[in-house]
């Protein structure tokens, strides 16, 4: 992404509402987005875990694939099994590079006559041309820049929004449906990025503010910004593209092999299949793990990870790093510091002792299972 200080920043359809609510706007993925509101990140995070929080995620890229054979066409750029996705269902997948890296992570929903895609804001300029380049005649990719995306997350989210559209309560986890909500035609998926139950709602951009106001008027619903979204997803052990996964990391290294369809592991006909197949058979050199620093001090992204006492892996110079933190911070629900990152495979087992080099000092830490806070998705 270009330096946000020199590029032209986009705004979402909810920008004026964010300002009205006291949102502190910061550059993110080419957009001006609210990082927090006056309540603060800690309060917004805890409210999402206790009740329901509204997040603006309209910066994400939305598109649809139309035409017979759309699912098979999409499989040309992803190891996900898209053809088995039933109508009214959604799944998480990866777009992979020809050498086995992760181009992006994305969501795909089967809407019957078409597939609905959501990709990351910082990658939509890469993802959409990549998908389009793989399409056969008769399958069309249609970007949807005129739509907003709003997430309502938390244990009270579905009960709240179901007062406006009762059918939403019947959606299973990763279920998708069309609903009329406060006079707005909305596409709703029971999914999210917080580890909590909730929904993500795609609405026409020109109706987004009216929709958001109607949801914010529901009992127990408060706005939350990017700061709480980040601490929530880290507690849930969920990857952020550009931090925890990128074009250098593979699905195996990132502990995302579950996104590779069973059938796809017999066909091996997706981009980067050779690398993935080799790492599945022989092990990856490094693995993404959860990390719990001792004490209260968080360790942020790019913090080097060492073995305790500077004992280096065999053949490596003493004090050489065995990995690096990719995301780290303080978990308000965990009530302590947490991180994820990559370590050499020999050091990836739960309970392995580590040292994190924070401002030149060695901070004791341990490899810990993720999620740090249990998921509470609808089942």
- Domains and their CATH numbers in the chain: 10-60+146-235 (3.30.1360.120), 285-368 (2.40.30.110)
**CA atoms of 61 and 73, how far apart (whole Å):** 19
* Spatial contact of 347 and 213, defined as CB atoms under 8 Å apart: no
* Model confidence at 3: pLDDT above 50: no
Give the tens place of pLDDT for each residue, 187-210: 999 999 999 999 999 999 999 999
Q: Which residues pair with 180 in a beta bridge?
A: 185
Give the tens place of pLDDT for each residue, 214-249: 999 999 999 999 999 999 999 999 999 999 999 999
Residue 4: which pLDDT band, with cuts at 50, 70 and 90?
A: very low
How many residues in the chain? Answer: 379
Q: Is 117 exposed, middle or buried (0-12, 13-18, 19+ CB in 10 A)?
A: buried
pTM equals 0.95
């Amino acid at each position: 992404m270009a330096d946000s200080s020199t590029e032209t920043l986009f705004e979402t359809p909810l920008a004026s509402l964010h300002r009205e609510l006291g949102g502190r706007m910061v550059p993110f993925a080419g957009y001006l987005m609210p990082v927090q509101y006056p309540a603060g990140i800690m309060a917004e995070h805890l409210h999402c875990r206790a009740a329901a929080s509204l997040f603006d995620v309209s910066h994400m890229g939305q598109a649809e694939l139309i035409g017979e054979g759309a699912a098979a066409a999409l499989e040309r750029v992803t190891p996900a099994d898209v053809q088995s996705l039933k109508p009214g269902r959604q799944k998480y997948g990866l777009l992979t590079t020809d050498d086995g890296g992760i181009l992006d992570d994305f969501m795909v929903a089967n809407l019957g006559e078409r597939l609905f895609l959501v990709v990351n804001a910082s990658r939509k300029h890469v993802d959409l041309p990549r998908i389009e380049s793989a399409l056969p005649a008769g399958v069309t990719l249609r970007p949807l820049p005129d739509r907003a995306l709003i997430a309502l997350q938390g244990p009270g989210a579905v009960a709240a929004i179901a007062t406006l559209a009762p059918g939403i309560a019947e959606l299973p986890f990763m279920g998708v449906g069309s609903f009329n909500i406060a006079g707005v035609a909305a596409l709703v998926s029971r999914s999210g990025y917080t580890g909590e139950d909730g929904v993500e709602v795609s609405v026409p951009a020109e109706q987004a503010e009216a929709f958001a106001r109607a949801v914010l008027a529901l009992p127990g619903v408060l706005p939350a910004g990017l700061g709480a979204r980040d601490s929530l997803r880290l507690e849930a052990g969920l990857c952020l593209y550009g931090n925890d996964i990128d074009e250098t990391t593979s699905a195996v290294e990132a502990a995302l092999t579950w996104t590779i369809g069973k059938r796809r592991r017999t066909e091996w006909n997706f981009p980067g299949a050779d690398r993935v197949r080799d790492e599945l058979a022989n092990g990856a050199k490094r693995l993404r793990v959860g990390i719990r620093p001792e004490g209260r001090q968080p360790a942020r992204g790019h913090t080097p990870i060492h073995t305790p006492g500077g004992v280096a892996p065999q053949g490596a110079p003493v004090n050489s790093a065995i990995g690096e933190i990719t995301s780290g911070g303080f978990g308000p629900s965990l009530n302590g510091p947490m991180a994820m990152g990559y370590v050499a495979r020999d050091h990836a087992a739960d309970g392995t002792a580590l040292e994190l080099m924070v401002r030149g000092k060695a901070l004791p830490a341990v490899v810990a299972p993720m999620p740090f806070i249990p998921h509470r998705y609808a089942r």
